[in-house]
Structure 1
């Protein structure tokens, strides 16, 4: 009988079966979390469109005429993206060597790094690739302390990293990562970081500088070079060692670079610091109005803090720097002398002059009620008695101080005393413009924006004094066909009541109260601000003609049609005065001052281009005659200090003019202006391709020098113009003209006064008279 064998199972096959079951289950278990993450089951994931266009807030950038960044507008992100081709190789190499050595070999996840991190529990370094770090910065956010949430965040990073690798090139990922990282101190992105920590563009970074910034990527708050310099120094050297390890620099270079100092050039970028602060704040207001008037195609408004606009301005950063340095140099000295004259011992009403107690109280009352403290406490529901009490309570504060290195000092004052303290400071305004184009080249609205935020260039308006007289002379030459060589007697002149709307007779006195009785040319009369002759001229042409002339030249402030405007009683601002004087330099054509030439969106699309606003006001003959007249001011009039040395034995020279040997020899047309009681000092200066106006005075008209020694325009305002122009001429790249003004080939107005001078001198009897006669 046959027997059957029982078939036995191979145990190895069973092992193989379970191995594959477990392997497949393991793969599924590993894959499922990634699938869940990609499907959004572990939390929302960005849409595909967002991966193609990751949303980052971009600061609006102000760019100077010479290509420098003047400043930015941002709420939280001070970010201006830099394309990969503008990143230096040493920066890219430092990043890859330190953060992701196999970056160019993986597809978003570094398998070797991940296995190492798991095997050693992170003790030998993490496994986050640059792509993963970018994903976290863009879409995931700060790592959660909850373990489950932290794991899901990591899964999202892996998924997003692979998607980023599919959508972007390696170069684009590096650029995006460096552009989005927050380097602290408003340094959002590599461009801001490079400018803030080293004062340069990214392309100019040296190896050790790039290494420091890459070192900060680990934790910019902890690796803070301003607060923890030694820690950041060591971290920088670790980055340099990594660069050597992966062959980007030699061991010799590494050793040499690790010995170098940090050489920080810290330039914090805030709205209250840096170059052209007053101009930047004016432009912020201008842009806010522009976005209201120029919506996007879909009707939405541009956001100047988020949309990354590029605003191309007319400001020249070099001339702006020269202007700010000139203001600082002179105002520091002038203020020191003002403090000497306004001690309580010399002036019991300091900082005011000739005011009664109730008048001072009114000034302080007005200042309190217009202060931020009053507004804030009022909005908080505080009673008036509580608010007033707070102004008399001493508190710690930081105030402006010319004598401190940073121009700030910490002190304890009552808010009311701080108001009075700030009233002691002289203020200033300065604007410089190219007359042919209207391009504003420099704009200084005060002495320090952080502490004095009122912009005196365009917000302020003060009496023009004798700087208004050229409008009178221009009207007279234009209508009466006078010339600079025509002469009029310097005798008291009265305009009858009701002749030009004045209620009573107007008999202006000369500044010294004297009249020579001799005839003076118009050139001499303007050079020396002879009021009697100016009165004759406005009587001949009428105040209405002068007002019309000023209006046509861009003066929009209130101008009453009365004779007294001839001496500069109207309030005007520096912005409009510079534009008006530009008419003389531009052959009689007024060009409205312009600050912006072009605006682009973040993609380079042009949104705005400036169209000049011009107006024909004067003939070329009259404009040239006016320049000839005003040249007399700097040749032998009140502006002569620009050409001649000061009397070095005079007190004014010793106190505030030391170091101001301008010695300018080129043709300059100009006009000084000093108002009643020395409250305001003006100087308007013209060369063929640049018009610049300067004003100096106190916030209150009662804040002024006691005498003309320091209170005249030649001591208050003219030195700023002289320092500024001297610095401009020292930089030949600026091409500021030293040439004569263009003379019309068919000039019909006589400007050669040689014959007139001869006739007038023949009528004089004594040598003393000859000494007094200037032409």
Structure 2
């Protein structure tokens, strides 16, 4: 008898020890979270202040609201605006004992902590009350490695109990329904009701409420727009739960289940979704600003709760017209682009291109990091499921794999377009891409691409500053530069007949490559680079003559700063987009002014000469389709640009009061347009500008911009440029040079100062003095 008791006692002793150890471990773990070992927890006062939290608002220059930054939904409503059957559906489905607990369902919580902490069961899930879910919405989870689940669950439990002390049950329900995420990037019940049913939350029927509450389990999987059958099944589950907990009778549930799932879907209007890339740039800028600025209490401003009012330079109507023009052109160009390649498109046939694209996918990298073989990774990525894909004909739900998705998005042309007031730098319109939801990379603020012939005006500016006569005629014949791997620049398409001689005006307006390199040679490579830097370009420029053709990769913002000097008395301006910030009481707390360079980047005569050349580009050169196709009679100067292998198309449109630069191309540098006729800047980028200007011309509110005239150039500039833009070689010269091969030439990379020998310097002292006097008086050089 004694012997049999000993094993039992030993077993009970060890059971007790293990139990005590488990309980102690849980208590110690809970204490570590409570004492903020795993990160700070909001205190009671901070939670109470949530009541006063206000969204920050962003306004266009005309005072129209274009966006908000918030913790809550952009359309918060009160408890009395929420229908009772929706609240009943929420409680029955998400937290049946909501009115009986103090923020924590203790049984569920203990189960989750025990399983996830001691058994490392990540699928334990459950146990989250409405208060805990609200805590998760307000204070997003953080990564703590293998302890992430227990730490976050415990943290949310502690916050939930504090929320219950700070708010009534009705207030918690209201906060929850105003912050919870629904599908399609929609937050809060009022916004969800408007998007899926085109009505106010208080107008929702029982079945509509059940559909929306059903989405809370998984907003994408139960999205009624994308997966109607799945959403209907989930709706019926919610109705059954309401019956189970006494909110509905069996008869009411049976009647409700017979109703068809019908939506009245309303996507974001222009008022809701205008200028998404611009708003994102504002957000990034303000988040940085709030790090370094404090309120009168010494607390840092919070972009999402401080109720700031941010006033911007954006022209609401111009932005709308720019987006409409972009959509109209890019949707058509995409069709032409795909048809030009047909079945032999690189995104369909180029195996190495497709493979490298797949290997850049985040999911591919994650699977590789987990130790999977390449075959296992590819098999995993080849699994098809329902997903939403962007297309110009409308977003489509298709059954596709991550590989299919990557190939689908590889083919899309993208764009970047920026318009500013060239005298102040105020941003008037900003398009960072074709669709913010699916292409969040901003081609205005983030991208650097080869700029093609849009760099040529900078070359010509440097040449004029170096004293080159604008009426000097250059032969368009090819030249081989032996000290640069026998590089021989050629002209694109019909641009630049090799038998012709071009003045600067003729060569720039027709974008003649062979002449541009010769002008660079006269100006001096280092002088051209220095000129670009004085005009605001900070990107690295290769020390090779091909930069005359725009082989340097430069951002759109840098280029627009450089071009601003041609309209702004030779002084550059930096684009800016926020004018002022007010606090929630309307008190001015920050103001932003234009940044205009103090020193001119070049002389006034040079500026006038370049403008005349760029006007000729529109009137009779590579941008002339603005006249004959789009019927624009405005005073416009401009420059087209196309890069190697038709990878990038550019257009710069200049009027006295508006400067616009547009880029079009494929994000993957390895894919270009199949033909120059399609990919050239005049066809790919210029039309967006042309369509936008057409719309602006039709609105009298833009008369001050569209009817602005360039001031006439000085008599001196007119005299300097009073020569034929193009001359043909004489008959005898053509006979004796037709079969003559271009002579090898060495390219001079020295500045003007370095090129002058000692005797030249002595002989030019008086000439140099005269040149300076002319610059001071606004005169030019012959």
Q: Same fold per TM (> 0.5)?
A: yes
- How far apart, in 2, do the equivalents of 1:148 and 1:516 lie? 87
The Cα shift of 1:522 comes to 1.5
Tell me which residue corresponds to 1:408.
Answer: 396
Residues 194 and 148 of structure 1: is their aligned pair in 2 closer, same or farther, counting only changes over 3 Å?
closer
- How far apart, in 1, do the equivalents of 2:563 and 2:439 lie? 27
- How far apart, in 1, do the equivalents of 2:365 and 2:595 lie? 39
Please tell me whether residue 438 in structure 1 is matched to residue 425 in structure 2.
Answer: yes
Tell me which residue corresponds to 1:633.
Answer: 617
The Cα shift of 1:452 comes to 1.7
The Cα shift of 1:454 comes to 1.6
Segment of structure 1 superposing worse, 294-303 or 696-705: 294-303
Tell me which residue corresponds to 1:729.
Answer: 697
Q: 2:194–2:201: 8 Å Cα contact kept in structure 1?
A: no
Q: 2:290–2:302: 8 Å Cα contact kept in structure 1?
A: yes
Segment of structure 1 superposing worse, 415-424 or 737-746: 737-746
The Cα shift of 1:289 comes to 2.2
Correspondence 1:573-612 to 2 at 5 A: 573-612=555-594
- How far apart, in 2, do the equivalents of 1:54 and 1:693 lie? 43
Tell me which residue corresponds to 1:285.
Answer: 284
Please tell me whether residue 77 in structure 1 is matched to residue 69 in structure 2.
Answer: no
Deviations 1:730-749 (A, max 9, x none): 12213452346443785642
Residues 712 and 761 of structure 1: is their aligned pair in 2 closer, same or farther, counting only changes over 3 Å?
closer
Please tell me whether residue 697 in structure 1 is matched to residue 690 in structure 2.
Answer: no
Residues 334 and 311 of structure 1: is their aligned pair in 2 closer, same or farther, counting only changes over 3 Å?
same
Residues 435 and 363 of structure 1: is their aligned pair in 2 closer, same or farther, counting only changes over 3 Å?
same
Residues 507 and 341 of structure 1: is their aligned pair in 2 closer, same or farther, counting only changes over 3 Å?
closer
**Secondary structure of 2:539 counterpart:** coil
- How far apart, in 1, do the equivalents of 2:330 and 2:273 lie? 19
Correspondence 1:709-728 to 2 at 5 A: 709-728=677-696
Tell me which residue corresponds to 2:723.
Answer: 756
Q: 2:566–2:611: 8 Å Cα contact kept in structure 1?
A: yes
The Cα shift of 1:670 comes to 0.4
**Secondary structure of 1:584 counterpart:** coil
- How far apart, in 1, do the equivalents of 2:580 and 2:670 lie? 43
**Secondary structure of 1:550 counterpart:** helix
Q: 2:480–2:488: 8 Å Cα contact kept in structure 1?
A: yes
Tell me which residue corresponds to 2:524.
Answer: 542
Identify the match of residue 61 of structure 1 among 35, 57, 62: 57
The Cα shift of 1:469 comes to 0.3
The Cα shift of 1:49 comes to 12
The Cα shift of 1:620 comes to 3.0
The Cα shift of 1:279 comes to 1.9
Task: Give ranges in structure 1 of 5+ residues lacking alignment.
Answer: 1-45, 83-91, 100-124, 127-132, 134-140, 151-162, 165-176, 200-208, 229-261, 646-661, 766-775
Please tell me whether residue 419 in structure 1 is matched to residue 406 in structure 2.
Answer: yes
- How far apart, in 2, do the equivalents of 1:672 and 1:397 lie? 39
Correspondence 1:468-507 to 2 at 5 A: 468-480=455-467, 482-483=469-470, 486-492=471-477, 494=479, 503-507=484-488
Residues 263 and 584 of structure 1: is their aligned pair in 2 closer, same or farther, counting only changes over 3 Å?
farther
The Cα shift of 1:761 comes to 8.7
**Secondary structure of 2:441 counterpart:** coil
Correspondence 1:84-483 to 2 at 5 A: 145-146=98-99, 215=203, 221=209, 266-268=266-268, 274-296=273-295, 300-344=299-343, 347=344, 350-351=346-347, 360-375=350-365, 377=367, 386-403=376-393, 406-413=394-401, 415-480=402-467, 482-483=469-470
**Secondary structure of 1:673 counterpart:** strand
Q: 1:490–1:530: 8 Å Cα contact kept in structure 2?
A: no
Alignment RMSD (CA, Å): 4.6
- How far apart, in 1, do the equivalents of 2:693 and 2:375 lie? 52
**Secondary structure of 1:682 counterpart:** strand
Correspondence 1:493-532 to 2 at 5 A: 494=479, 503-512=484-493, 515-532=497-514
Deviations 1:403-438 (A, max 9, x none): 3xx33342323x223212211111111111111111
- How far apart, in 2, do the equivalents of 1:412 and 1:758 lie? 57
- How far apart, in 2, do the equivalents of 1:187 and 1:561 lie? 50
- How far apart, in 2, do the equivalents of 1:543 and 1:366 lie? 37
Residues 596 and 366 of structure 1: is their aligned pair in 2 closer, same or farther, counting only changes over 3 Å?
farther
Deviations 1:82-102 (A, max 9, x none): 9xxxxxxxxx9xx99x99xxx
Q: 2:501–2:726: 8 Å Cα contact kept in structure 1?
A: no
Q: 1:79–1:180: 8 Å Cα contact kept in structure 2?
A: no
Deviations 1:4-40 (A, max 9, x none): xxxxxxxxxxxxxxxxxxxxxxxxxxxxxxxxxxxxx
Alignment length (residue pairs): 572
Q: TM-score, normalised by structure 1?
A: 0.64
The Cα shift of 1:750 comes to 2.5
Structure exhibiting the larger radius of gyration computed from Cα positions = 1
- How far apart, in 2, do the equivalents of 1:666 and 1:146 lie? 69
Q: 1:315–1:595: 8 Å Cα contact kept in structure 2?
A: yes
Q: 2:509–2:622: 8 Å Cα contact kept in structure 1?
A: yes
